[in-house]
Structure 1
Amino acid sequence: MIIPFIFNMSTYSEAPYTWFFFKGLDMAKHHDWPIMGQEIYVKSSLKDFIKMGERAAYDADFIKEHLWYETPHSKDFKHFKGYAVNKKIIDDLVKETGSYLDAYLRILRAPYEPLVEDITRQIEDIKANYSEPIEAFCVLSANPSLSAAAAKFNIPVLHYEMGCFREPVYMKTAFMDTRSLHGGNTTEVRFKKFQSEMKGYRNIMSPKELLALLLRPEKMDMLDKYGTRPEVRCGAALGYAVVEIFQAQSGFNDSELLYRLARKYGTNNMLIRMHPFDPYGAKYPKYSMCVDKKDHSTIDFILSCEEIFSIGSNVCVEAMFWGRKAHTMVKSPSYYGSAHTVEEKAPEVDPMYLNFFAMNYLIPFKFMMDPEYIRWRLSDPSEKEIFEKHLAVHLANKKLDMSVMDLPASKRLKAFKEAKAVY
């Protein structure tokens, strides 16, 4: 069995990972599998989530368009058993460190032994009460304590997050990493393997082809902007005002990023993209004249800038596909292939790496909580097999099949651009 683990101590919401809980529940309910995590998730009722105002619990249209699981019903809660992290462990750590943020950073940076022991006991309990073996845990971002506890039983932990390509512009994707999305070296290790396996492979695509394959048909006209001359030297893609998974690595924040960019390039030569969903509502009045137009898309922002800078935003890796260099300050999916300071020169973008990232590191969103897909990935398929499986899905989304890959590059690009999508 595959067990979702739901844990987040951010304070902008009572239950920030509600959507991931229900994504996991959508899988677990069909198999009567358990779910582990904080009490707020695994011991709450559907009515509790609705009272919290969490759209992921009740908004059928929102769920269908963005999250891709069945709208929850109270009866679903009868088909899983919740294993709750001992709340006292968390409360005691908050008291010891002085704040939820400090406690959360402690948990994100390294295994926290009381939490490791608690999770270990719960794994033992699950093993004693279920006949099925635990095949894997699924978690958003990372939880070193879970990884440490799972390692005692040789249970893999799969780390997920929303992909950099998503609606309403692109076909929806997700990240899935077997080590860590923020701190591991999976992309570097897997890319080297990809290069070895795919040397001379006929289906390697240009960045423009990759974009044409992943763009939704109604957004395909954006591709006409490819190669647009930049208007300013640098663009700052800002994130949430507080991003604990980044702060656990470095105190480098958006304010310092803007400060450094202004010193190096001047405010008249920089553009700022505010995060459209920042729950903290961060504002930087000193740089208000640099903020991009509200009606500009992320692609418009990227193409307006010669290079993109961010703490760890997915905009950086998206920029690479659009022919822009990137600077990513902390380890994240955008880290490999970019520069890591404001001052250093950014590397040239390798089209081979973009093929790996789009077709191998990212997964089609429909596979996010698919037990059969997860089992297949746990069987250690080759990078070539992963490439071809994901490519087939993306082609099918455009009502195309693998035969289109035999076309010359120019005709292949034309076929991608003219295809109609299946949503």
Structure 2
Amino acid sequence: MKIVPILFPHPCRGETAPYLCTFLRSINTALPRSAYYIVDPACLDWNRFRQRWEFEPWNQWFHEYRIDERLKPERIEFLDESLLEPLVRQHVTPIRAWRFLILNRYRPLEDFLEAALDRAAAELGGIDCVLTWLNVASLQYVCARRGIALVHNEHGPLRKPIWRHTAYFDFFGVNGQTAAAAEFAAFCEQFAQRDQWPSLEDIRDALLTAARSEAPLVAPYRCGVAAQLEEDSNLVAFGNGFSSLEVVRHCQRKFGWEQVLIRLHPMGIAMVRGHLDTSPNALAFIGQCDEIHTVNSSVAAEALLFGKTVVTYGDTPLRVAMRPQPDGDGTVWTSEGVAFPARAATFFFLSYLMPYSLVFDPAYIGWRLRRPSHLARMVAHLRHYSGLPPRYEEGPPSGNVAAEFEELLGRLAEAGRTQAATPAASEGEPFSFEGVPSFYRQIDERQALLRECHALRHEHDATLASRSWKITAPLRWLDARLRSRRPS
């Protein structure tokens, strides 16, 4: 395989080397042996970032890599952030420039990419595919013009330690403008004769890896809002103009202030008024709510597996399991009333999503470039989740492959149900994504302080209103007068 991973500098988060974690993950695989890297130069300046979250042991476990100077790839060139600076100046703010870069072509970047890919092709003897972790219109244009497959990866909505860690693999885009709808149509065509599908419970149990507490029989909140990272492309380019704050206010007006629970993104910067969730993970949040609303957060996928009504306001590949619903003068997407929800869930969670550990696996990438059937994809993914050696099927799937799919899914679902019955370990630091494990604890501590202040103020007001306080008022007045007359 001849692969070119491209990791762009990010002009809007105010963070140097935003894809350092992805770079570290990639060089811990077999990828560098068959790759020519085009990356942000800061990705190699590790000494600057020794105190950042990417170097924490917890994060290395989560993203499956280790820090080793000997792993740095030899075939590499740099895409400096200075190339994007004129775009930032032109669009006033970095976020507006980021949106433009995602959705529109930018000639200086295209000129750089054309020359860089020429050098990569000369080094590798050709290019089989380019890997990217975000939508960039100029990269899509250059690859299409050159006839090179462009693979978009991103973290999937299910992540360890609670779920089997997943990722996206899409030839058209990620977050928005994806091939999910077209792939689902092909999936339905390949399974046109099938009328029995795995249940949501079987899919959920097959993908769960952690013990979980049962959701309350009656959820205390009508609605849960999953807020998102303000500078992520999910909102910047694919939110259909909605922000998390707009969704919060809409739901508070629709359901009532007391009926809405808000889960903030652990890396977000916005704070909102309302009931804030301090649960250690998204499952505990989901269990407290009748339905989940979000622009396009991955929490929606988790809620879907638990049979919750999900409403999304932005573009998302999860729409394959939802239907449009008018809301005022606009349209949102809801999982309520969807025909054949188990079929859509089977496609999305078992075929469209892939195991995270295979993201930079050249053998898997090469197999996906040959466009295997959805059944073969599902079996390959389930074999990986089951700890079995890879076996990438070629050609039309046989009856043996279909039987293997049923057997693997049943075995994983049963293992998940056994794990779910295991008493959960004591809660330590709340789990969150990308090195911010204390965020929700900080919210909890802040709310505890606010409750304590409120209790003290209530006690103070009650004391002032008490009968004893009023009776003893003359004595306090006399004491104050006598103190004021004492010589200093």
Under TM normalisation by the shorter chain, which class is it? 0.7 to 0.9
Contact 1:101 1:244 in 2 (8 A): no
Contact 1:404 1:415 in 2 (8 A): no
Q: Superposed, which structure 2 residues align to 1:142-291 within 5 Å?
A: 142-201=135-194, 204-216=197-209, 218-219=210-211, 221-222=212-213, 224-225=214-215, 228-249=217-238, 250-278=240-268, 280=269, 282-284=270-272, 286-287=273-274, 290-291=275-276
Structure 1 residue 61, shift from structure 2 partner: 4.6
Structure 1 residue 339, shift from structure 2 partner: 5.5
Distance, in Å, in 1 between the alignment partners of 2:253 and 2:156 is 32
Distance, in Å, in 2 between the alignment partners of 1:408 and 1:369 is 24
Say yes or no: does 1:47 pair with 2:47.
yes
Distance, in Å, in 1 between the alignment partners of 2:318 and 2:228 is 13
* Aligned-residue RMSD, C-alpha: 2.9
1:125 is aligned to 119
Say yes or no: does 1:113 pair with 2:107.
yes
Greater displacement, 32-41 / 370-379: 32-41
Q: Go from structure 1 to structure 2 and tell me whether the alpha carbon gap of 1:102 and 1:372 turns closer, same or farther (over 3 Å shift).
A: same
2:391 is aligned to none
Q: Go from structure 1 to structure 2 and tell me whether the alpha carbon gap of 1:81 and 1:207 turns closer, same or farther (over 3 Å shift).
A: same
Identity %: 21
Structure 1 residue 40, shift from structure 2 partner: 2.5
2:71 is aligned to 76
Greater displacement, 16-25 / 115-124: 16-25
**For 1:309-333, what per-residue CA distance to the aligned partner results, in whole angstroms no more than 9, with x for missing partners?**
1111011122111101212122123
2:430 is aligned to none
2:318 is aligned to 334
Structure 1 residue 92, shift from structure 2 partner: 1.6
1:362 is aligned to 353
Distance, in Å, in 1 between the alignment partners of 2:187 and 2:226 is 29
2:33 is aligned to 31
Say yes or no: does 1:309 pair with 2:293.
yes
Partner of 1:149, secondary structure, is helix
**For 1:79-119, what per-residue CA distance to the aligned partner results, in whole angstroms no more than 9, with x for missing partners?**
32322225443122222222322221210112212211211
Structure 1 residue 407, shift from structure 2 partner: 10
Partner of 1:396, secondary structure, is coil
Partner of 1:336, secondary structure, is helix
Q: Go from structure 1 to structure 2 and tell me whether the alpha carbon gap of 1:73 and 1:111 turns closer, same or farther (over 3 Å shift).
A: same
Contact 1:328 1:341 in 2 (8 A): no
Structure 1 residue 419, shift from structure 2 partner: 6.5
1:353 is aligned to 344
**For 1:169-219, what per-residue CA distance to the aligned partner results, in whole angstroms no more than 9, with x for missing partners?**
111111111111233242111112212223455983211111111111x41
Distance, in Å, in 1 between the alignment partners of 2:280 and 2:57 is 28
AA aligned to 2:103 is: R
Q: Go from structure 1 to structure 2 and tell me whether the alpha carbon gap of 1:33 and 1:80 turns closer, same or farther (over 3 Å shift).
A: farther
Partner of 1:175, secondary structure, is strand
Structure 1 residue 404, shift from structure 2 partner: 9.0
AA aligned to 1:233 is: R
Q: Go from structure 1 to structure 2 and tell me whether the alpha carbon gap of 1:137 and 1:93 turns closer, same or farther (over 3 Å shift).
A: same
1:93 is aligned to 87
AA aligned to 1:298 is: A
**For 1:371-410, what per-residue CA distance to the aligned partner results, in whole angstroms no more than 9, with x for missing partners?**
000000000101111112112222337xxx976935997x
Partner of 1:317, secondary structure, is helix
Q: Go from structure 1 to structure 2 and tell me whether the alpha carbon gap of 1:98 and 1:276 turns closer, same or farther (over 3 Å shift).
A: closer
Distance, in Å, in 2 between the alignment partners of 1:245 and 1:38 is 22
Structure 1 residue 342, shift from structure 2 partner: 8.5
Structure 1 residue 136, shift from structure 2 partner: 1.1
Pick the structure with greater CA Rg: 2
Q: Go from structure 1 to structure 2 and tell me whether the alpha carbon gap of 1:176 and 1:185 turns closer, same or farther (over 3 Å shift).
A: closer
2:56 is aligned to 59
Contact 1:237 1:315 in 2 (8 A): yes
Partner of 1:393, secondary structure, is helix
Distance, in Å, in 2 between the alignment partners of 1:329 and 1:252 is 7
Partner of 1:272, secondary structure, is strand
Equivalent in 344, 366, 371 of residue 380 of structure 1: 371
Partner of 2:248, secondary structure, is helix
Structure 1 residue 359, shift from structure 2 partner: 0.6
Partner of 1:31, secondary structure, is helix
Greater displacement, 365-374 / 253-262: 253-262
Partner of 1:152, secondary structure, is helix
Contact 2:206 2:412 in 1 (8 A): no
2:387 is aligned to 396
Structure 1 residue 160, shift from structure 2 partner: 1.1
